[in-house]
Chains A and B, each alone.
Chain A
Amino acid sequence: MFKKILVMLVVAMFGFGELAAQEILEAGKLSGNFQMDAQLYNKDDIIEAPEVGEKILSNGFLNLNYTNNKISAGLRYENFANPMLGYDPRYKGSGIPYRFARYSGDVIDVTVGNYYEQFGSGMILRTYWDPALGYDNSLDGIRAKLRPTEGLEITTLIGKQRMYWSQAKGIVRGADMNISVNDLLGDILGDEYRLDLGASVVSKFQEDTDSKLVLPENVLAYSGRAALSGSDFSLDAEYSYKYNDPNATNDYNYNPGTGLLINAAYFPEGIGISVSFHRVDNMDFRSDRAKHEMDANINFLPTLTKQQSYRLATAYPFATQPNGEIGFQAEVNYLVPKKSMLGGKYGMNLTANFSQVNSINKTPDYIDPDNGRVYTYNTNFFELGEELYYREFNLEVQKKWGKKFKSTFTGIHSTYNKDVVQEEGHHIFGMVNSTILIADLTWKIARRKALRLELQHMWSKNDSTVLTPDNINGNWMYALAEFTIAPAWYISVWNEYNYGNEYEERQLHYPNASVAWIHHTTRVACTYGRQRGGIICVGGVCRPVPASNGFALSVSSSF
């Protein structure tokens, strides 16, 4: 049925009236995936898990894609009945927020309906969907890609962004140009090197209905980029500029925005070295200037710090501060050779990573003589601000000890400016200093059976005395045991214990147990236990993710 509807949609949109729908049906391919997560919530006063009136909350979606030669079409049905805790309540409801039809020819590639797109690194445009985060800023409109000759591609688009079950107020227009110098000019660089150039422009329109400020209705951002790579190195850089864009995030400041991202990597045999630098100033860019958090973002500013996956290492996550930050990251990866003293029979992988992010300095420029408000400021581009936002040092050692045993040991030391990331710069907590040690051990018991142990400990201390009780401060321990019977069963138990909380009554355990069954592309998982609450910060604005206690069910499949 779905397949028929999709085919009819494509036929109607592209006017292929002479083609019989049946022919298209038979020649095409239907694919998709499905996921449903649901949780039964129990009130748990100790961990401050709220009472949920509905008892059960669930998020679910189904993606369907139909492809036939150069034509494709698809849709996504979503259902939030009602949204699970931690997801924006504005998702409540169900419907089809995403549908598209596409023709992908050699010279022209046209999409009508919803689409996802990224220009360069995403500093001036990136739309994407992440159901785990509850994030979708897809554009609904028209996108056309032109490839007039080999090595040249231009993407043009226009549309409005999804905001929950409606659309953001502004209209987004943009164009992106990619030039592959090697493909365009042949062997000018030889086989050893590759050079790609790119440039983008994005402009958004939003009506000015403000009675107090003169607001720009059209805001332009542009960027230029270059990427050079060889057999053992790569170097890429992107610079972006945004014209005056007074908005809620920058407190209606009229300064232009700028962004610079530079990545360099050197990877001869056995070792890899990479360094990154970025500077962001006033680069929050949305198609509705009044919006906060994850609403109507046109661009994406990735964090420069290492993305952590171990549980305790996610307690204090850093988020890029779009109003201004400057930072760098360096990583060295070294493979200790096999049969050396340290490497042993299988070798050993060492990874060291250091990152630091600071503020940028700003001095007021135009001050309104009537109300003393600062409307523009000056800033020195390469000057490191005095305030430290985040610093982290990681060391990871991966080693296989034999056919049946392998290990990963990780040490992390971080300094986290909780006031900047979570409290809008108000001096409440100061810095949080934490040191984490992690041992991840996997023992292959039999041909299809394996036991994995994860042991983690975090020493954590706030700069200032914790005046307000919470369920995060102090030292933590974490232990996980996962028993696998390949390929179908994953049985896990784990516990987090905040034994070092400043407040004795909050030294709590968060025990959990989970069973997952996998059959081909289908996965069913059941979890029971407590989840600690916390704050998720995106773009400098934070939203709560309440603690929860209960039974969770997750079903996913693809076809």
Chain B
Amino acid sequence: MYKYKKILSLLALPMIMAFFASCDEIDAPYTEDGGTDPVDTTKVIKKVLLDEFTGIKCVNCPKGHEITHEIMEDNPDNVVVIAVHCGYFAMPQGDKDYDFRTADGNAWATTYGGMSASLPKGMINREGLSDGTHLLDREEWYSGAEQALKDEAEVKLELKATYDAATRTITAVVDYEYLVDFEQYHNLIVCVTEDGIIAPQTGAEDDPDNYVHNHAMRGCINGTWGEALTEKSAQKTYTYTIPADSDWIPENLTVIAIIQDVDKTYEVLQAEDDQFVK
């Protein structure tokens, strides 16, 4: 009897193990079939704000930049990007290194956790995640952006940015209108980013000493957390004079307007960008 118990046990164990052996094997082609949904051009789109926490000494950050580029290409005009250089990986260490860090970017990075995180990390509409954080790994950005683009817009936002070369003054005119009612309105943050900055980047495949940095956060022109809105719709105008000793190239600047809950959820309700030179 004891002998049979052993034999039965030996036979039963592989069956129990087989119960746990679920698997899907995928054969080529590995890509999904194409297919797009028809676009309703009259609808107010809720654009996606992608904050990319990055650094010049972060070897994986160029891969993050590639994903950002892919998201923008696949969703033209619907994605707004800010590259916030922060933390250990953004510290310049050689004479050729460029210091992309800004006080406003550091404040954001501290609030959202990017300052001490391994990079790159990103945020889609600065939304809080189930684990209480805001940061996504780079492979989560694309699907996160896709998902967020399905959200209904709650605010309509228009931005017109101009630049006066004589006075080196940026003017941003923002029109907003809430499409749904809220008990309390949110904050309007207006900031500036710059494309085309040539500087070293660790991990770049080609010519790492002359990497093209895009969407680099330059600063906020109405404060790190912007201005609290008090009306359902209004027009706001902000001006900012680029300091004389600054190396910003106006043709490469982008002005960004964000409507965000800065008190509770940190969620971005709408974002818009505009360049001076079209």
A residues sitting closer than 8 Å to B (CB atoms) are 48, 50, 53, 83, 85, 88-90, 92-93, 148-149, 152, 154, 156, 163-166, 173-175, 177, 179, 184, 199-203, 205, 209-220, 222, 243-244, 246, 248, 254, 289-293, 295, 366, 368, 370, 375-376, 422-424, 426, 428, 467-470, 533, 541-544, 546
Is the CB–CB distance between A212 and B203 below 8 Å? no
Please indicate the chain B residues that have their CB under 8 angstroms from the CB of A88 in the complex.
117-118
Is the CB–CB distance between A203 and B93 below 8 Å? no
Please indicate the chain B residues that have their CB under 8 angstroms from the CB of A246 in the complex.
30
Task: Determine if B26 is an interface residue (Cβ-Cβ < 8 Å).
Answer: yes
Q: Which residue of B lies closest to A174 (CB)?
A: B20
> With contacts A89-B116, A215-B26 known, is A201 near B32, CB below 8 A?
no
A-B contact pairs, 13 of them (CB 8 A): A48-B91, A85-B116, A89-B133, A90-B135, A149-B6, A154-B17, A164-B133, A214-B26, A214-B29, A243-B25, A290-B137, A292-B137, A424-B59
Please indicate the chain B residues that have their CB under 8 angstroms from the CB of A148 in the complex.
5, 9, 12
> What 0/1 pattern do residues 1 to 37 of B give for CB contact below 8 A with A?
0100110011011101111111111101111100000
- The minimal Cβ–Cβ distance linking A360 to chain B, given in whole angstroms, is 21
Known: A216-B25, A542-B118. 12 other contacts (CB 8 A): A88-B118, A209-B143, A209-B147, A214-B30, A216-B24, A218-B22, A220-B23, A246-B30, A295-B137, A422-B59, A469-B93, A541-B60
Task: Determine if B276 is an interface residue (Cβ-Cβ < 8 Å).
Answer: no
Q: Which residue of B lies closest to A217 (CB)?
A: B24
Please indicate the chain A residues that have their CB under 8 angstroms from the CB of B176 in the complex.
none
Task: Determine if B140 is an interface residue (Cβ-Cβ < 8 Å).
Answer: yes
User: Among the interface residues B6, B118, B208, which one has the most CB atoms of the partner chain A within 10 A?
Assistant: B118
A205 to B32, CA, bound (A): 19
Please indicate the chain B residues that have their CB under 8 angstroms from the CB of A93 in the complex.
132
Is the CB–CB distance between A254 and B6 below 8 Å? no
Is the CB–CB distance between B131 and A166 below 8 Å? yes
Is the CB–CB distance between A152 and B13 below 8 Å? yes
Please indicate the chain A residues that have their CB under 8 angstroms from the CB of B20 in the complex.
156, 173-175, 201-203
Is the CB–CB distance between B6 and A152 below 8 Å? yes
Task: Determine if B89 is an interface residue (Cβ-Cβ < 8 Å).
Answer: yes
Is the CB–CB distance between A248 and B139 below 8 Å? yes
Q: Which residue of B lies closest to A370 (CB)?
A: B31
Is the CB–CB distance between A211 and B143 below 8 Å? yes
Q: Which residue of B lies closest to A366 (CB)?
A: B28
Pick the contact of A213: B24, B31, B118, B137 (CB < 8 A): B31
Task: Determine if B230 is an interface residue (Cβ-Cβ < 8 Å).
Answer: no
Task: Determine if B94 is an interface residue (Cβ-Cβ < 8 Å).
Answer: yes
Is the CB–CB distance between A544 and B17 below 8 Å? no
Is the CB–CB distance between B31 and A368 below 8 Å? yes
B residues sitting closer than 8 Å to A (CB atoms) are 2, 5-6, 9-10, 12-14, 16-26, 28-32, 57, 59-60, 87-89, 91, 93-94, 97, 110, 113, 115-118, 129-133, 135, 137-140, 142-143, 146-147, 202-203, 208
> With contacts A209-B143, A243-B23 known, is A254 near B93, CB below 8 A?
no
Is the CB–CB distance between A90 and B133 below 8 Å? yes
Interface of B is mostly: loop
Please indicate the chain B residues that have their CB under 8 angstroms from the CB of A218 in the complex.
22-24
Is the CB–CB distance between A248 and B137 below 8 Å? yes
A375 to B91, CA, bound (A): 36
Is the CB–CB distance between B118 and A423 below 8 Å? no
- The minimal Cβ–Cβ distance linking A436 to chain B, given in whole angstroms, is 25
Q: Which residue of B lies closest to A209 (CB)?
A: B143
Please indicate the chain A residues that have their CB under 8 angstroms from the CB of B23 in the complex.
203, 216, 218-220, 243
Is the CB–CB distance between A89 and B132 below 8 Å? no
Is the CB–CB distance between B94 and A467 below 8 Å? yes
Q: Which residue of A lies closest to B204 (CB)?
A: A426
Q: Which residue of A lies closest to B120 (CB)?
A: A292
**Chain A to chain B: the 8 pairs with minimum beta-carbon distance, closest first:** A166-B131, A220-B23, A543-B118, A290-B139, A216-B24, A544-B88, A148-B9, A218-B22
- The minimal Cβ–Cβ distance linking A557 to chain B, given in whole angstroms, is 29
- The minimal Cβ–Cβ distance linking B177 to chain A, given in whole angstroms, is 31
Is the CB–CB distance between B28 and A375 below 8 Å? yes
Is the CB–CB distance between B60 and A424 below 8 Å? yes
Is the CB–CB distance between B137 and A291 below 8 Å? yes
Is the CB–CB distance between A201 and B21 below 8 Å? yes
> With contacts A184-B6, A219-B24, A424-B60 known, is A213 near B110, CB below 8 A?
no
- The minimal Cβ–Cβ distance linking A224 to chain B, given in whole angstroms, is 11
User: Among the interface residues B24, B97, B138, which one has the most CB atoms of the partner chain A within 10 A?
Assistant: B24
A468 to B93, CA, bound (A): 6
Q: Which residue of A lies closest to B57 (CB)?
A: A468
Please indicate the chain B residues that have their CB under 8 angstroms from the CB of A424 in the complex.
59-60, 203
- The minimal Cβ–Cβ distance linking B119 to chain A, given in whole angstroms, is 9
Q: Which residue of B lies closest to A545 (CB)?
A: B88
Please indicate the chain A residues that have their CB under 8 angstroms from the CB of B26 in the complex.
214-216, 244, 254
Is the CB–CB distance between B9 and A149 below 8 Å? yes
Please indicate the chain B residues that have their CB under 8 angstroms from the CB of A376 in the complex.
28
- The minimal Cβ–Cβ distance linking B179 to chain A, given in whole angstroms, is 27
Is the CB–CB distance between B17 and A163 below 8 Å? no
Pick the contact of A165: B16, B115, B132 (CB < 8 A): B132
